[in-house]
């Protein structure tokens, strides 16, 4: 039976317990505050990141892993496994996928399938977990790859941005849009479309934006026997717990958890963002 390793990057925001439970290999991206660099998930917790974010005038920057990190990992895996599948955050917002692909082609002795998840955060984590479950059950690389490619096409994720000024500071919103949006209490819903984070709808008030996401979830819940769901939150845990309670009350066929948005994606969307990601399990 061929042994298949599962690789992802730190923007999957899997807990240490999950990583250890499934034996997933995680390559970290980096967040840079001035001259200080931190490997996401290793040197800087999400909580510490949001505290630091409040204290700085200039937004931090982010950077993808160096190609050498991937080469080193794939060479190590080649000694222990027959094949590997690597699933990464969307190539539309980071070069991580392309770097991983280049590194995989440089290493002999192991077949590595590199997948562009076309999304990020815990929806990417769901893909890594599914791949690991299949790998641990003895499925082949081809079978795992086919399943993950299906998930790429069928994963949903909608996120409500709380702080428009953060999008403005990051250059994703001009000053006029910032002023009008703030006056009207606009809470844009964003999603991954064509591999990039793009506006889905602009809605007044967070409650109405959340209601709109629930409408979208409703439709899929009616069509599936089981939905796997995550509430993605950027330092608003209590709010996420309220949403999870709503989901549990409304939907008996939804398995939900709460996930934390870490430093790299948090740099781009800011504290207070909340969203829901899901897919049909069967």
Pairing of strands 186-193, 156-160: antiparallel
What is the per-residue pLDDT for 231?
A: 98
48 token code pair: 């510490």
Lowest mean pLDDT among 114-118, 188-192, 232-236, 244-248: 188-192
Q: Which of 21, 229, 236 is nearest to 122 (CA)?
A: 229
What is the per-residue pLDDT for 153?
A: 97
What does the pLDDT average to over 190-215? Answer: 89
- Of the CATH numbers 3.30.1180.10, 3.40.50.300, 3.40.50.11540, 3.60.20.10, which one belongs to the domain with range 156-280? 3.30.1180.10
pLDDT confidence of 163, banded at 50, 70, 90? Answer: low
Evaluate if residue 251 carries a pLDDT over 70.
yes
Q: Could you tell me the residue ranges of all domains in the chain? A: 4-29+64-154, 156-280
Same fold across 4-29+64-154 and 156-280: no
What is the per-residue pLDDT for 180?
A: 44
DSSP 40: B
pLDDT confidence of 164, banded at 50, 70, 90? Answer: low
54 to each of 33, 44, 273, how far by Cα in Å? Answer: 12, 15, 15
**What are the tens digits of pLDDT across the range 120-130?**
999 999 999 99
pLDDT higher for 68 or 167? Answer: 68
**What are the tens digits of pLDDT across the range 9-67?**
999 999 999 999 999 999 999 999 999 999 999 999 999 999 998 888 888 999 999 99
What does the pLDDT average to over 271-278? Answer: 95
Strands (E), the chain: 4-9, 25-27, 30-33, 36-39, 61-63, 83-88, 111-116, 156-160, 186-193, 196-204, 227-233, 254-260, 274-280
207 to each of 77, 186, 188, 233, 274, how far by Cα in Å? Answer: 47, 11, 12, 15, 11
What is the per-residue pLDDT for 54?
A: 87
Say how far apart CA 11 and CA 123 lie, in whole Å: 10
What is the per-residue pLDDT for 182?
A: 53
What is the per-residue pLDDT for 2?
A: 77
- H or E element, residue 70: helix 67-80
pLDDT confidence of 188, banded at 50, 70, 90? Answer: confident
Top-tier CATH class for 4-29+64-154: alpha beta
Evaluate if residue 175 carries a pLDDT over 70.
no
What is the per-residue pLDDT for 56?
A: 87
Residues in the chain: 282
234 token code pair: 């950027």
3-state secondary structure 153-222: HHCEEEEECCCHHHHHHCCCCCHHHHHHHHHCCEEEEEEEECCEEEEEEEEECHHHHHHHHHHHHHHHHH
What is the per-residue pLDDT for 169?
A: 53
DSSP 119: S
Evaluate if residue 235 carries a pLDDT over 90.
yes
What is the per-residue pLDDT for 58?
A: 84
What is the per-residue pLDDT for 172?
A: 46
Q: Percentage of the chain with pLDDT > 90?
A: 77
């Amino acid at each position: 039976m061929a042994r298949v390793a599962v690789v992802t990057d730190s923007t999957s925001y899997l807990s240490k317990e999950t990583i250890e439970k499934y034996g997933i290999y995680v390559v970290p991206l980096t967040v840079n505050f001035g001259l200080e660099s931190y490997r996401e998930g290793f040197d800087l917790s999400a909580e510490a990141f949001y505290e630091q974010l409040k204290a700085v005038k200039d937004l931090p920057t982010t950077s993808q892993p160096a190609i050498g990190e991937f080469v080193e990992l794939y060479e190590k895996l080649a000694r222990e496994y027959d094949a590997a599948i690597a699933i990464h955050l969307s190539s539309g917002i980071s070069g991580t996928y392309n770097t991983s692909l280049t590194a995989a082609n440089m290493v002999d002795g192991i077949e590595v399938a590199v997948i562009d998840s076309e999304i990020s955060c815990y929806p990417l984590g769901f893909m890594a977990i599914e791949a690991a479950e299949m790998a641990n059950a003895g499925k082949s690389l081809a079978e795992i790859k086919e399943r993950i490619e299906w998930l790429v096409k069928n994963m949903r994720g909608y996120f409500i941005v709380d702080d428009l000024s953060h999008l403005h500071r990051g250059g994703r919103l001009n000053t006029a849009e910032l002023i009008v949006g703030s006056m009207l209490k606009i809470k844009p819903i964003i999603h991954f479309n064509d591999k990039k984070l793009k506006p889905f709808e602009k809605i007044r008030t967070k409650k109405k934006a959340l209601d709109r996401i629930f409408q979208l979830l409703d439709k899929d819940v009616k069509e599936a026997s089981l939905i796997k769901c995550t509430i993605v939150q950027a330092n608003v845990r209590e709010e996420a717990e309220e949403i999870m309670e709503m989901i549990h009350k409304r939907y008996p066929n939804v398995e939900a958890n709460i996930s934390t948005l870490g430093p790299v994606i948090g740099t781009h969307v800011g504290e207070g963002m909340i969203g829901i990601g899901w897919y049909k399990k069967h």
